[in-house]
Amino acid sequence: MAAQGPAATATAFEMVDIPGKGNGLVATRNIKAGEQILAETPAFVVTPRECTEAGIAAAVAKLSLSDRDVFYSLALADHLVPLGPHLGRFKNNSMEVYDTAGGVFLVGSRFNHSCAPNVSRRWDTPAAKMRFVASFDIEQGTELEIAYAVLCAPRDQRQQMLQRLFGFKCTCRACTLTGDAQVKSDERRAKTEIIRDLVPKLIARPVKLVELAKQGLALIEEEGIVTGTASFAWDCFQAAAAYGDVESAKAWAVKNLELQEREAGVESSEYKQVSQLQHNPRLHGSWGVAGRVQAVPKP
């Protein structure tokens, strides 16, 4: 059955049975890196207070009959069955929106997981849509996969998290590495996460901040991951803005846009915002907050 989506992207994929995974989405044509595959409004959104079996049931009851049928066809892992048919499916399929709330996407929920995804997803708050963007060139017939959980963790930690949250063992290409390749992959991912945590805390040391951000970016790109890369360039832009370095800020805005194109997409509100800052970084709220001008390394 073909997955339903916006008219502009409806021919990019179809839903098929994936051996060992159940339903999944497969490209029906070649897709270019940076192409928006799907931009979907959630069928419903619930706050943490509403996240109960009764609360989800009430939200589902407001859907059309056809959308309700789709909801009840979504995955329900065995370990979530005791939560009830509504809360269990919500836990199994929802994605974070508006920072704290959760939303159900009747098409987007069909993407399967990979620890080396070829599709990035990003919630666009102003547009109230989840955008799914091709991280790489994707050939016709290839399964389209997103990340359900944290990517920059060693394989054992990723496996434990996926088993606990979604009830499956990941067999993606990153999780089936062996020997030295697997050890090096774990090291790169663990180091990337440490760097990601440190970088924003180094605003008082902008040269060190950029040095570490570049290391993190190189590590995650070596892993073949696009999801999460743009944040490194954004941290560097903010450092350049804080210290009033116009040329560095412009250069990091350009780098951020280069990465955002394959992560949030050129149609995203975030991409458009950074496009404005690329031309006039002084528009950013943190401009000059460091209280002194200092050169910040460029990309």
User: CA Rg, the chain, in Å?
Assistant: 20
Model confidence pLDDT, tens digit, residues 136-153: 999 999 999 999 999 999
For 106, half-sphere exposure in the C-beta direction (CA atoms, 13 angstrom radius) is 19
Sheet holding 95-97, edge to edge: 44-46, 101-104, 95-97
Q: How many domains does the chain have?
A: 2
In a domain, 291, yes or no: no
Model confidence pLDDT, tens digit, residues 273-299: 999 999 999 999 999 999 999 999 999
94 and 197 co-located in one domain: no
Q: Which residues contact 255 (CB under 8 A, 6 or more apart)?
A: 233, 236, 299
Sheet holding 36-40, edge to edge: 36-40, 129-134, 119-124
| φ, ψ dihedrals at 134, nearest 5° | -70, 120
Give the chain's end-to-end CA distance (angstroms, integer): 45
- Domain with 259 in it: 179-283
75 and 128 co-located in one domain: yes
pLDDT category, 8, cuts 50, 70, 90?
very low
DSSP structural state of residue 108: G
In a domain, 155, yes or no: yes
Enter the pTM of the model: 0.93
| C-alpha separations of 15 from 25, 32, 69, 141, 217 in Å | 5, 19, 16, 11, 33
Model confidence pLDDT, tens digit, residues 166-222: 999 999 999 999 999 999 999 999 999 999 999 999 999 999 999 999 999 999 999
194 and 276 co-located in one domain: yes
Residue 5, pLDDT score: 34
Model confidence pLDDT, tens digit, residues 232-255: 999 999 999 999 999 999 999 999
73 and 106 co-located in one domain: yes
Residue 6, pLDDT score: 33
14 and 159 co-located in one domain: yes
Residue 10, pLDDT score: 53
pLDDT category, 11, cuts 50, 70, 90?
confident
Q: Which residues contact 73 (CB under 8 A, 6 or more apart)?
A: none
Q: How far apart are CA 252 and CA 101, in angstroms?
A: 31
DSSP structural state of residue 38: E
pLDDT category, 7, cuts 50, 70, 90?
very low
- Cβ contact 31:133 at 8 Å: no
In a domain, 203, yes or no: yes
- Cβ contact 264:133 at 8 Å: yes
